[in-house]
Each structure stands twice: as C-alpha cells, then as structure tokens.
C-alpha cells in the first residue's frame, strides 16, 4: 500500500522544482533530480563534483544535507493532503561516513513515522559504488494551511 496521499508524477515534481516564480530552486542550483517514486520511498540524485566540494576537494557535508532534506521534504509533502497541509523541515541531522569526490550521489528516503503533526524520514546516500556515504534523519512539521 502506498504512503502517498495521491498519485505522484514526475510532471508534478518538475513543476515544483521550478518554484513559484519559475526561476528554479536549490534543486536546480545543485542539479538534484527526483529519479524514482516507489510505494514507500522516494529517490533523488545529485552529481558530485567541484560545484559542491569543500576546499579539500570532497563533497561538502552541507551538500549532502541539501540532498537529504530535498528528497525527504518532497516525500513528506506527498504523504499529506496538500490542499489542507504542507510540510517543512523542522530538524535534520547527518553522519558523513565516506567521502565522495565525483560520480553520482543517490539518496533514498523512507518514513520512520507518519503522524498528524510531524513525520520522520530516514535518508541513505550512496555513491556510484553503492557505498553508504551519509545517513540522515529529518523531522518535518505538518502545518495546516
């Protein structure tokens, strides 16, 4: 059984990525793409390279967190009736386990808790070799419109 309130499509995701003014969002800036929609998970990718490196040539931890919060925020919003509610990140944490320099980072988020006022999401980020690079957890507040 799907956790999504209503069917989620890539067209819907593309419209959201363009933002209110149509100029794009942080997803556009960091080249983050939602690549898979499953019954209980959402997957996003982000290229690893100089644009998201810290000074020592490794992917910046903040870039991992941006990827994690993006995929979890999308998932949190898709899991609620968006006519009545919207979700915003309330807390996020991460453990950076393996450094990355190049390739494609893949983040998969699944729910830990889906409640009336909050949801909690686990995000696992892997590199091209399918090695776990970062594990994150995000709490989203469910806000009444």
- This prediction's pTM: 0.95
Catalytic residue among 6, 39, 69, 122: 69
Known catalytic residue at 122 = no
Is the Cα dihedral 89, 70, 115, 120 positive or negative? negative
pLDDT tens digits for range 75-123? 999 999 999 999 999 999 999 999 999 999 999 999 999 999 999 999 9
Per-residue pLDDT, 2 = 93
Q: What is the CATH number of domain 10-144?
A: 3.10.129.10
Q: Percentage of the chain surpassing pLDDT 70?
A: 100
Q: What is the dihedral of CA 64, 13, 89, 85, to 10 degrees?
A: -170
Enumerate the domain spans of the chain. Answer: 10-144
Per-residue pLDDT, 25 = 87
């Amino acid at each position: 059984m799907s956790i999504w309130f209503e069917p989620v499509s890539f067209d819907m995701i593309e419209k959201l990525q363009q933002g209110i003014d149509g100029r794009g969002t942080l997803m556009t800036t960091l080249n983050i793409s939602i690549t898979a929609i499953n019954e209980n998970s959402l997957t996003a990718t982000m290229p690893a390279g100089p644009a998201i490196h810290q000074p020592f040539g490794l992917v910046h931890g903040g870039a991992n967190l941006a990827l994690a919060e993006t995929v979890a925020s999308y998932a949190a919003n898709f899991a609620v009736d968006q006519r009545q509610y919207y979700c915003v990140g309330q807390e996020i944490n991460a453990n950076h386990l393996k450094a990355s320099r190049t390739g494609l980072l893949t983040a998969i988020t699944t729910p830990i808790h889906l409640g009336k006022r909050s949801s909690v999401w686990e995000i696992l980020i892997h590199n091209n070799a399918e090695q776990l690079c970062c594990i994150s957890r995000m709490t989203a507040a469910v806000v009444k419109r």
